[in-house]
Structure 1
Amino acid sequence: MLRLAHRWPGLLAAILVIFMSLSGAALSVFPALESLSTPAQTETNLDAGTVAARIQSVYPSVTEIRVSPAGRVTAYWSDADNQSQSATIDPATGKAVATAETPAAERWLKNLHRSLFMGENGRIIAAVGAMTMLVLSVSGLFLVARRTGGWRRFFSPLRGASSARVHVELARISVAGLLLSSLTALWMSASTFGLLPESADGPALPAATSGRTAYALDRMPALNTLPIDALRDLTFPAQGDTNDVYTLKTTTGTGYLDQGNGKMLGWSGASVWDRLGDTVMMLHTGRGAALLGLALGLMSLAVPAMALTGAVQWWTARQARPRIRGNASAGRVGTIILVGSEGGATFGFAATLHAALAKTGEQVHVAPMSAFEPKRYGMAKRIIIMAATYGDGDAPASARNFLKLLSAASPMRNVAVGVLGFGDRSFPHFCGFARQVDAELETAGWAKLLPFDTVDRQSPQDFARWGRALGEAMGLPLDLHHAPVVPQLTGLTLISRRDYGAAVQAPAAILRFALPRTSFWEKLFGKAPRFSAGDLIGIVPHGSNTPRFYSLASSSRDGFVEICVRKHPGGLCSSRLVDLMPGDKVHVFFRANPDFRPAKNRKPVVLIGAGTGIGPLAGFIRDNVGKRPMHLFFGARHPSSDVFYAPEIDRWLGEGKLTSIETAFSRTAARSYVQDAVRRDGQRLAGLIAAGAQIMVCGGADMAAGVKTALGDILAPLNLTTAKLKAEGRYVEDVY
């Protein structure tokens, strides 16, 4: 809901908001120009009476003196031909130094900004624009906090497509100013349309005066004790009218002065609303706060860029997700399909199911699991949940809040729910999130449409089998034929390789590929590969629709793509990769793995890996330019055959990027595994963990299980478990 509240106002009102932000940014320059052109006061403690007397001596027919919040003094008088004149005054001499006319460009911009040259109707449209900006600012603020992992991490480093990063960076920089500008604009609009309490009327006109004239201005107590910067307006009495008075307006109120003796004949202090109105005016226009005005103007310039990058993100997301033709409204269908997907593949299966059900005449609505809203499902008979699992049993991107939404909802009468999990059986927590969803539904009392089932490695056969069971439950002939959609591929050229493992009959290699050249527009639209160590590349082997994933040992900042690969007997992908020679090309796609990377702090990191699992760990060490403590536990077959990154490890130890290394070798006389190295160094590890260390494990499932057992024994005396550390983000795995 929050994303929709941000997206659609931005898309629909983009042109209006851009016009207002650009005109507001241009207007912010004028207060600064006014401050620069205002004569500097050469006298200290200059009072209003002295300045007024000086002006009167130069222009005897002066009728009014105004002082702007920036300190500019303007006088108005009549010349010998009784023509009205005005000028900016130097307070030191009382003489004119510049014209008082508002620049034509400023007048034009004000009309554009305030009313779009459309009078009263234009002011209403401008108010709508200000309200839109407020909605965008508030919703954007919460979306940035959600993306960065909470308010405490609001300014943490970003990753992802260039357009997305630029959009969020601009939002983080400008959101405070945009909030302030939109709120003050709405206040001023409300004041214009009489929606706020009116200002004080001022004191009543005096019933009687002294009847005299020509009392010296610099002798009047109300003026000679008033700093010139506190004066806002002094209106002179009409010449020859002995009953007229001076009208005095200051930052604190309004009063009348007798022109014959200078006494105050009445005074009314500024109300709270007057003070608030003056403050709002200052904050919105920058009058009296030129630097603030310029800062707000610069922040406003972020709006067009955010409009562009926001539109790019919206379009990119639309292109990435399969288009579902005839996706009916949630309130008019019998079947709701909710999808939990990380990279979009599960949406492809949902599209296949939608099309098959539509052919039978069934009305179907497909949506992300995060959009779960039972109140909208007025005609629903069944809900089908298709949920992938991210990482070690976690929710994927499009289902992050589903369990929270589910706990707040009551089971719907006459609505049955079925859950289909998508995952990889080689992972310890196969379809862990989907299983959790199914268990929560059962606990909450939702009726079951059919038993929980799974699809392994995006298998079309598993999906078709489940489809037949779904058809039987619905009383429909349902035959699902799914062809997985392969993401857009990037061609990589191998530039170097280092071979390992031949001596132990386990060929492996470190493969380094050139980073493909990309244009500015490819970077803007998120088509340029951008990745960090620990992210994944996917490769689709010939004769298969299922990609194989490899952890990256480099980041895009390194200027190359690097992976560690071991050749597996009969492995379609690993055999092809290990046989590559420099100059050969392979086509891949990149997938983010944000939950497997060092936490953003200075606490120690314990890296545990075996075999090619050292790949991403080596990438983390290479990126450790801040030299935070990193301790590596590495397991291999033999020290002479497959110690990956041996030269780099020595260099990293010397540079301080790596603090320590412990090794274990399974093909030597002292046969041991990496979990044995962990046990041997248990006391030191316990100290690191007590100091807040994060543990990162990468490698095969058996190795990971052994490491978890060893850590369990080390953690027990600390009253900790790997589960507790995982909940704190201090224990993460990349297991295959």
Structure 2
Amino acid sequence: MNRSLHRWFGLIAAALLTVPALSGALLSIFPAAEALTMPAAQRVSVAELAARVRAAEPTVEQIRRAPSGQITAYYYEGDQPASAVIDSATGMPVGSGETLALERWLINLHRSLFLDDTGRLIAAGGAAIMLALAISGLFLTARRAGGWRFVLKSVRGTGDGRLHAVVSRLALPGLFLSALTALWMTAAVFGVLPEGAGAPAFPADVSGNTGVALTSVPLLRETPVDDLLSLNFPATGDATDVFTLKTARGEAYIDQGIGALLAWSDAGWVDTVTRLITMLHTGHGLAWLGLILGFSALAVPVLGWTGLWVWLRGRRDPKLASAAASEADTILLVGSESGTTWGFANTLQTALSAQGVRVYVGPMSKFEPGHWLKARRVILLAATYGDGTAPASAKGFIERFGGAHASAGLPLAVLGFGDRSFPAFCGFAAEVARIAKDKGWASLIPFDTVDRQSPQDFARWGRRLAETLGLDFELNHQPTVPKTWRLPLISRRDYGASIQATTAILRFALPKTSLWQRLAGKAFPRFEAGDLVGIVPQGSDLPRFYSLASGLKDGFLEICVREQVGGLCSSQLIALKPGDTIAAFVRPNPSFRPARGGKPVILIGAGAGIGPLAGFARRNRAGRAMHLYFGTRHPTSDAFYAEELSHWKKDGRLTSVSTAFSRTASPAYVQDILRKDAERIGKLIAAGGQVLICGSRDMAAAVAAVLADILAAQGFNLTRLKADGRYAEDVY
């Protein structure tokens, strides 16, 4: 509920508050500029100041002191009203007292959007929403962190979601203060607040005399300038008028003939609080705070944009209705890379719920036994990514699970999802099951696996689970094909036909999408090189995945495909002609891409594995150190990206390119050129370098063996490099 309110308030606030936020950020500059240019403060009394100003400007009608300490005198030049900033040491004007036209324009825009009272109410509505956002955001931050005591720990995640969390955490205090003070000021303008003390009753017993010496008036002599709010002079020629003094303590009337105090009224708490809140909101008198609030205001459009993208992406992500973790009797956690395992979780959750079981469904990264107050069992559905590693939604699970004590009376079941053609079939799930056994977790049912998303394997496991739980259900899982787009082929480059190893670089056009589709989250999703494109071949419902050699900003989708003997999808792709279309969708693969920062990157690949590595180089316009080691069969038949690699090396996108050819007079493989370049590779890794490998499993294993030797000489190992996120594979 809190997340839903936060989302909708955020979308409305993004529309309502962007203009006030940006104008507020600009307005925060003026108090800072005022503080830098203001004359040095003088420890003088109001009497001395008033005497100096009157000597310099005999027609002065009012002296006003701003919260910043700036003193402004209002007087007449001939018959025209004028104002000037005053140097309290001399009483002389040092600059114009008029508000700059730009500042006045920004103030009107910020306060009321040029719509008078209607605009003020709109702005107040936006402030109320911002206050609700700040409060709900604080609770979401605590929930995301795992509790209030962890609210200040580093933010997990990547991309827009992490940026949104980091920016909101930094801006939240400023936005909370801005919203709260804005609401108070609006309430003051519309008379919603209690009445202040107000001015005292105007005296009837004035002396009727004029011309008292200002320096002889006791109250003016006793009042320091630092306490002054304003001093109004009596109208010229009106012996019944008086001096009106306003200070932080109260308001007084003073006889203009004899200097006697005629009436006094103490300041009320409403007046005092309103002055403080105005200072806090505007920054006048607290320029440093004004700048902080200004920077916080700049976060509003950033939060609006990132929040919108997170929401739109969330609409495409799997969503399973589930009970709260604290109320559920069954905890169902999912480890998935491409999202398909969530479909199995949905089938299981639906079946259990129909039996009256309260099920909490979440990612394995949310392993938090302390929140499972009523849980009676835990079920883990764990896919395996790459060479036995954790999938995206299970990042950090092994560490937390291994460090947790087994919960008494809370049996656990582990079901692995994978592909038996991979050597590390269900390797991650098997590791989880092993740790559970070693830690003493009770077994709900024995560890089992599902091969290639087999509904039959899943149903067999489900029958065993139903029998153990004493329930009557059948897991009839129907795989759902993700939403696909038709992508037309616009160009192709063919290689390897002469050696019966046909490989093609295929470039597809992106679908055209309208603004409405983008806003509604129905546009073709964003992607980067290294992400995966799922292609559904004709005659099959099971997609095949290929690593992308391009990103959305490149304006096209590109893959490198080698035809596999008997391969349904690869054969259809190789047979495509320009104009033909494919049905495709995109899956993020955030663990396989260059890390942020300027550390060197070592790209290692063979054959069609050059695809994503070429994509990384293409986007390296900043000239980050990037070294490519690439193996293929022959320089004439398999010169993948030859022209681009040469160009990228010249313009600095690639620092070096080292190649190995296995079908030449001096055959060599990519691991051979790595071994020859061991010294440089060792230095790059010691300097914080990252290793990205793409290609066949056999190639990746051979490369890993060579790199293990190189790392040993540097005091590193592959396990440490993987744990640090500096070693990633995309193998097939």
Deviation at 1:563, TM superposition (A): 1.0
3-state DSSP class of the match of 1:448? coil
3-state DSSP class of the match of 1:565? strand
3-state DSSP class of the match of 1:603? coil
Quickly say closer, same or farther: Cα 1:635–1:308, change in 2 above 3 A: closer
Task: Report the counterpart of residue 723 of structure 2 in structure 1.
Answer: 727
Q: Does 1:182 align with 2:176?
A: yes
Structure 1, unaligned stretches of length 5 or more? Answer: 78-85, 117-124, 160-164, 194-198, 200-211, 265-269
Q: Does 1:505 align with 2:500?
A: yes
Task: Report the counterpart of residue 264 of structure 2 in structure 1.
Answer: none
Quickly say closer, same or farther: Cα 1:449–1:439, change in 2 above 3 A: same
Q: What is the TM-score when the length of structure 1 is the normalising length?
A: 0.75
Aligned letter for 1:572?
A: L
Quickly say closer, same or farther: Cα 1:363–1:532, change in 2 above 3 A: closer
Quickly say closer, same or farther: Cα 1:617–1:177, change in 2 above 3 A: closer
1:329 & 1:34 partners in 2: Cα distance? 48
Deviation at 1:672, TM superposition (A): 2.4
**One of 334, 339, 355 as aligned partner of 1:339:** 334
1:348 & 1:236 partners in 2: Cα distance? 79
**One of 368, 377, 383 as aligned partner of 1:382:** 377
Task: Report the counterpart of residue 611 of structure 2 in structure 1.
Answer: 615
**One of 121, 134, 137 as aligned partner of 1:112:** 121
Task: Report the counterpart of residue 133 of structure 2 in structure 1.
Answer: 133
Task: Report the counterpart of residue 416 of structure 1 in structure 2.
Answer: 411
Q: Does 1:479 align with 2:488?
A: no
1:328 & 1:44 partners in 2: Cα distance? 63
Deviation at 1:97, TM superposition (A): 8.7
Range with greater deviation from structure 2 (364-373 or 253-262): 253-262
- Report if the CA contact (8 A) 1:18-1:303 is conserved: no
Quickly say closer, same or farther: Cα 1:73–1:605, change in 2 above 3 A: same
Task: Report the counterpart of residue 231 of structure 2 in structure 1.
Answer: 234
Q: Does 1:451 align with 2:451?
A: no
Task: Report the counterpart of residue 121 of structure 1 in structure 2.
Answer: none
Residues 466-500 of structure 1: CA deviation (Å, up to 9, x unaligned): 22332333344553322221111121111111111
Deviation at 1:559, TM superposition (A): 1.7
Quickly say closer, same or farther: Cα 1:723–1:49, change in 2 above 3 A: same
Deviation at 1:180, TM superposition (A): 1.3
**One of 598, 604, 627 as aligned partner of 2:594:** 598
Task: Report the counterpart of residue 53 of structure 1 in structure 2.
Answer: 54
Deviation at 1:706, TM superposition (A): 0.5
Paired residues for 1:203-218 under 5 Å: 214-217=211-214
Q: Does 1:638 align with 2:642?
A: no
1:337 & 1:593 partners in 2: Cα distance? 23
Aligned letter for 2:66?
A: S
1:604 & 1:304 partners in 2: Cα distance? 33
Aligned letter for 2:50?
A: G
Residues 524-558 of structure 1: CA deviation (Å, up to 9, x unaligned): 44422322111111112233332211111112222
Range with greater deviation from structure 2 (481-490 or 8-17): 8-17
Q: Does 1:463 align with 2:453?
A: no
1:617 & 1:365 partners in 2: Cα distance? 40
Range with greater deviation from structure 2 (650-659 or 692-701): 650-659
- Report if the CA contact (8 A) 1:23-1:113 is conserved: no
Quickly say closer, same or farther: Cα 1:411–1:89, change in 2 above 3 A: same
Quickly say closer, same or farther: Cα 1:155–1:519, change in 2 above 3 A: farther
1:96 & 1:713 partners in 2: Cα distance? 75
Deviation at 1:111, TM superposition (A): 6.2
Deviation at 1:307, TM superposition (A): 5.6
1:107 & 1:548 partners in 2: Cα distance? 60
Deviation at 1:735, TM superposition (A): 1.3
3-state DSSP class of the match of 1:447? coil
- Report if the CA contact (8 A) 1:178-1:296 is conserved: no
- Report if the CA contact (8 A) 1:10-1:307 is conserved: no
Residues 192-226 of structure 1: CA deviation (Å, up to 9, x unaligned): 99xxxxx9xxxxxxxxxxxx984433788997999
- Report if the CA contact (8 A) 2:10-2:304 is conserved: no
2:419 & 2:246 partners in 1: Cα distance? 80
Task: Report the counterpart of residue 624 of structure 2 in structure 1.
Answer: 628
1:353 & 1:170 partners in 2: Cα distance? 33
- Report if the CA contact (8 A) 1:32-1:291 is conserved: no
**One of 8, 11, 15 as aligned partner of 2:8:** 11
Aligned letter for 2:487?
A: L
**One of 670, 674, 678 as aligned partner of 1:674:** 670
Paired residues for 1:132-531 under 5 Å: 132-136=132-136, 138=138, 165=160, 176=170, 179-183=173-177, 185-186=179-180, 214-217=211-214, 231-234=228-231, 247=245, 249=247, 281-287=278-284, 300=297, 303=300, 306=303, 310=307, 313-314=310-311, 317-318=314-315, 320-321=317-318, 327=322, 334-358=329-353, 362-374=357-369, 377=372, 379-400=374-395, 402-403=397-398, 406=401, 411-427=406-422, 429-476=424-471, 478-526=473-521, 527-531=523-527
Quickly say closer, same or farther: Cα 1:583–1:385, change in 2 above 3 A: same
Aligned letter for 1:452?
A: F
Range with greater deviation from structure 2 (398-407 or 600-609): 398-407
1:656 & 1:719 partners in 2: Cα distance? 30
Residues 175-194 of structure 1: CA deviation (Å, up to 9, x unaligned): 7555314135547989999x
- Report if the CA contact (8 A) 1:138-1:179 is conserved: no
Quickly say closer, same or farther: Cα 1:355–1:36, change in 2 above 3 A: closer
- Report if the CA contact (8 A) 1:652-1:658 is conserved: yes
Aligned letter for 1:179?
A: P
Q: Does 1:651 align with 2:647?
A: yes
Task: Report the counterpart of residue 557 of structure 1 in structure 2.
Answer: 553
Deviation at 1:610, TM superposition (A): 0.8
- Report if the CA contact (8 A) 1:312-1:525 is conserved: no
Quickly say closer, same or farther: Cα 1:534–1:130, change in 2 above 3 A: closer
3-state DSSP class of the match of 2:474? coil
3-state DSSP class of the match of 2:624? coil
- Report if the CA contact (8 A) 2:485-2:524 is conserved: no
Residues 85-114 of structure 1: CA deviation (Å, up to 9, x unaligned): x9874568999999x9x9896972696379
- Report if the CA contact (8 A) 2:164-2:307 is conserved: no
Residues 206-255 of structure 1: CA deviation (Å, up to 9, x unaligned): xxxxxx9844337889979999898422367999899x9975637x9999
Task: Report the counterpart of residue 694 of structure 2 in structure 1.
Answer: 698
Q: How well do the aligned residues superpose, as a CA RMSD in angstroms? A: 5.6
1:408 & 1:153 partners in 2: Cα distance? 19
Task: Report the counterpart of residue 200 of structure 2 in structure 1.
Answer: none
Range with greater deviation from structure 2 (618-627 or 45-54): 45-54
Range with greater deviation from structure 2 (479-488 or 287-296): 287-296
Task: Report the counterpart of residue 191 of structure 2 in structure 1.
Answer: none
3-state DSSP class of the match of 2:667? coil
Deviation at 1:561, TM superposition (A): 1.4
**One of 681, 684, 688 as aligned partner of 1:688:** 684
Q: What is the TM-score when the length of structure 2 is the normalising length?
A: 0.75
3-state DSSP class of the match of 2:361? strand
1:707 & 1:380 partners in 2: Cα distance? 45
